Amino acid sequence: MSTETMQSARATHRSYQMSASKVREVLDLIRGQSVVKAMERLSLTDRGATEAVAKVLRSAAANASNLYGLPPEELFVSEAYANEGATLKRFRPRARGRAGRIRKRTSHIVIEVQRLPEQELRRLREKSRENAAGRRERRVRASRGERASDSSVTEVTRQEQEPTVNEAEPAVESSSAVVPEHQETYVQETKEVEAVIDGEEEKN
């Protein structure tokens, strides 16, 4: 027995209350796919048998992990099929004393997972390494961009604050220039008032 055949695990769900034809529509979506991708497809599939098939797939992956210590990332769905199970016969009353037959179909779901070939595993590892390096590079760029933006914001704030200080100085000069003029006007008016008062006193 080869190593690849030994590193395979199987899970079965017997007497599932759904026809085999309906279950096969879901199994066709995951056959030949990796376990991770198969679970993603099942999570996005709106079929009645999706939950049962996902449960069997998780059980098969757990069996492979317990037997051979294989993680789900290194497994793919090698076999997935559904056989017809027992048919439960029921009857419904019809007109004129007749009876209508009801057939409740069942099925047996079987999923087998195996370890991916070494070449495929090597390719996946290289791809994950590249993705990790890309994520690290994006994080570094983002952090550097944040630092650059912080320094630019600080510099812009400093430039915005400096003109306000410079603009305030001429205002002080203009106000200081206006003060003596008001003082002269006040002194002149005071002298005029005093002259008027003195004139009235001389008349008296």
pLDDT of residue 155: 66
102 by DSSP, 3-state: which?
strand
pLDDT of residue 170: 52
Structure token pair of residue 128? 């994950």
pLDDT of residue 96: 93
101 by DSSP, 3-state: which?
strand
> Of 86, 91, 89, which is closest to residue 103 (Cα–Cα)?
89
Q: Hey, where are the domains in the chain? A: 3-116, 117-190
pLDDT of residue 67: 92
One pLDDT digit (tens) per residue for the chain, 204 residues: 334 445 899 999 999 999 999 999 999 999 999 999 999 999 999 999 999 999 999 999 999 999 999 999 999 999 999 999 999 999 999 999 999 999 999 999 999 999 988 888 888 888 888 888 888 888 888 887 766 666 666 666 666 666 554 454 554 444 444 445 556 676 677 777 777 777 776 665
> Where do we find the tokens 């993680």?
71
CATH number of 3-116: 3.90.470.10
In this structure, the dihedral spanned by the alpha carbons of residues 50, 56, 58 and 61, taken in order and rounded to 10 degrees, is -140
Helix orientation angle between 35-43 and 50-68, rounded to the nearest 10 degrees: 160
Query: CB under 8 Å to 6, separation ≥6 — which residues?
Result: 68
pLDDT of residue 172: 47
pLDDT of residue 99: 94
Q: Are 100 and 94 in contact (CB under 8 A)?
A: yes
Taken in order 4, 6, 11, 14, the sign of the CA dihedral is positive
